[in-house]
């Protein structure tokens, strides 16, 4: 178990062995979870930025439009395959 000291600026240094084991490099962002007497430090999993398609973007689906009943049946068939 390693011990670290909190600086006057509220900072502490994660030991190099821990940083190396987890492949954490300079600039890694963390989430701090306060659980009363315990703190959990987890690397933030940043999702890549995405953009929504314009509403006038043509649909990928090129077949005939399906009725609501046909879509529901297809969902049930696929769900049954994964049970």
Residue with tokens 């909190």: 6
Enclosing domain of residue 42: 12-47
Does some domain include residue 60? no
* 1-59 residue pLDDT tens: 889 999 999 999 999 999 999 999 999 999 999 999 999 999 998 777 788 888 888 77
Does some domain include residue 32? yes
Beta bridge partners of 19: none
Does some domain include residue 70? no
Q: How many independent structural domains does the chain possess?
A: 1
Instruction: Tell me the pTM.
Output: 0.50
Distance CA 61, CA 51 (A): 20
* 46-69 residue pLDDT tens: 777 788 888 888 777 788 888 999
């Amino acid at each position: 178990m390693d011990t670290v000291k909190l600086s006057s600026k509220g900072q502490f240094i994660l030991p190099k062995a821990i940083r190396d084991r987890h492949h954490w490099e300079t600039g890694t962002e963390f989430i701090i979870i306060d659980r009363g007497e315990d703190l959990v430090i987890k690397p933030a999993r940043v999702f890549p930025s995405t953009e929504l398609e314009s509403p006038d973007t043509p649909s990928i689906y090129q077949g005939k439009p399906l009725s609501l009943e046909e879509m529901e049946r297809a969902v049930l068939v696929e769900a049954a395959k994964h049970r």
